[in-house]
Amino acid sequence: MQVCPRPPIIEMRGVGKAFPAGPIECHVLTDIHLDVRQGEFVSVAGPSGCGKTTLLSLMGLLDLPTSGELRFAGQTVRNLGRAERSVLRNRHVGFVFQAFNLIDDLSVAENVALPLSYRGNMPRHERGRRTREVLECVGMTHRMRHYPSQLSGGQKQRVAVARAIVNDPAIVLADEPTGNLDVGNGELVMALLSRLHAEGRTICMVTHDERFGAMAERTIRLLDGRIVDESTFQQRRSEVESGLDEHIFGDSLP
Ligand SMILES: Nc1ncnc2c1ncn2[C@@H]1O[C@H](COP(=O)(O)OP(=O)(O)OP(=O)(O)O)[C@@H](O)[C@H]1O
């Protein structure tokens, strides 16, 4: 039986991104060809400054490519105005940042409900129900009325994850989501992202942490703005297993 591949949410064909740098242009991304399919968990790795955040910004429609073709949920992004991109982004993309990016003057519940307020048609009681539901999902209902300054880093990131999924987005983009957390809290946030993925969500995560990156189904490596390597979870596992075989059995295997 042939399995139909899941449709892509993100399609990049020869995408490039350059920023003006005085009289010249600084090419940050070059000739990126990449599909992210519905329900995939992709991690993006690479040294500092290689363009990981820039790539995520393009995926999340925060910025536009300067060359090539980017399609989001089947729509060519080049043809969309700023307002249309903003509607698409608010509807279909959830962001999780290294620095949490919660609003200090708003309570936990208000922070999480914020993306819903841009959807004018949602009744107040429904917003409250949805906010509680996602806070339950990250185990933070007991802190609903607290403010970000009253939370630990791990708790802030759990609230940020709740905010990212409150609109039931097609894709969650996480930029170094464990970068400001200790190991234990990092693992908690990763367990949360893995659970979201197991529930069918699409996740694309930038991380420096090889261990967390390896939890993704597919890892993309960037170097100087180009994709230089791609490996799937299965490939990485069989590499580890063949390494183990070599270690244990040496050359005696056929
Ligand atoms: N708005 C901008 N204007 C000019 N240059 C930019 C802009 N945004 C990013 N850059 C440059 O693009 C390059 C890649 O930046 P980016 O943040 O994407 O890298 P990164 O791989 O995420 O790095 P890190 O791991 O350190 O966060 C850097 O040299 C950066 O200075």
- ipTM associated with this complex: 0.97
| Predicted local confidence at residue 253, as pLDDT | 66
pTM: 0.90
Cα 65 to ligand 1 centre (Å)? 14
Segment 113-170, tens digit of pLDDT: 999 988 778 889 999 999 999 999 999 999 999 999 999 999 999 999 999 999 999 9
CA distance 227 to 222: 5
Q: Which CATH superfamily is domain 8-239 in?
A: P-loop containing nucleotide triphosphate hydrolases (3.40.50.300)
| Predicted local confidence at residue 1, as pLDDT | 59
| Predicted local confidence at residue 120, as pLDDT | 72
| Predicted local confidence at residue 235, as pLDDT | 73
| Predicted local confidence at residue 9, as pLDDT | 96
Asked whether 50 and 224 are in contact (CB, 8 A), the reply is yes
| Predicted local confidence at residue 156, as pLDDT | 96
Beta bridge partners of 16: 67
| Residues of the chain falling short of pLDDT 70 | 1-4, 236-245, 247-249, 251-254
Domain definitions of the chain by residue range: 8-239
In this structure, the residue with its CA closest to atom 16 of ligand 1 is 51
| Predicted local confidence at residue 172, as pLDDT | 97
| Predicted local confidence at residue 250, as pLDDT | 72
Q: Which residues line ligand 1 (CB under 6 A)?
A: 19, 26, 28, 46, 48-54
Cα 225 to ligand 1 centre (Å)? 10
Cα 208 to ligand 1 centre (Å)? 15
| Predicted local confidence at residue 190, as pLDDT | 95
CA distance 214 to 183: 16
| Predicted local confidence at residue 3, as pLDDT | 64
CA distance 51 to 45: 10
Q: How many CA atoms lie less than 13 Å away from 250 in the CB half-sphere?
A: 1
CA distance 132 to 142: 10
Chain centroid to CA 22: 32
In this structure, the residue with its CA closest to atom 12 of ligand 1 is 28
In this structure, the residue with its CA closest to atom 26 of ligand 1 is 48
Q: How many CB atoms lie within 10 A of CB 188?
A: 18
Handedness of CA 8, 161, 109, 136 (dihedral sign): positive
In this structure, the residue with its CA closest to atom 27 of ligand 1 is 48
Strand order in the sheet with 67-72: 24-37, 8-21, 67-72, 75-76
Asked whether 215 and 208 are in contact (CB, 8 A), the reply is no
Residue for token pair 């893995």: 194
Question: Candidates 15, 17, 19: which one to mutate for ligand 1, based on the most atoms within 8 Å of Cβ?
Answer: 19
| Predicted local confidence at residue 77, as pLDDT | 95
Cα 118 to ligand 1 centre (Å)? 29
Question: Candidates 24, 54, 209: which one to mutate for ligand 1, based on the most atoms within 8 Å of Cβ?
Answer: 54
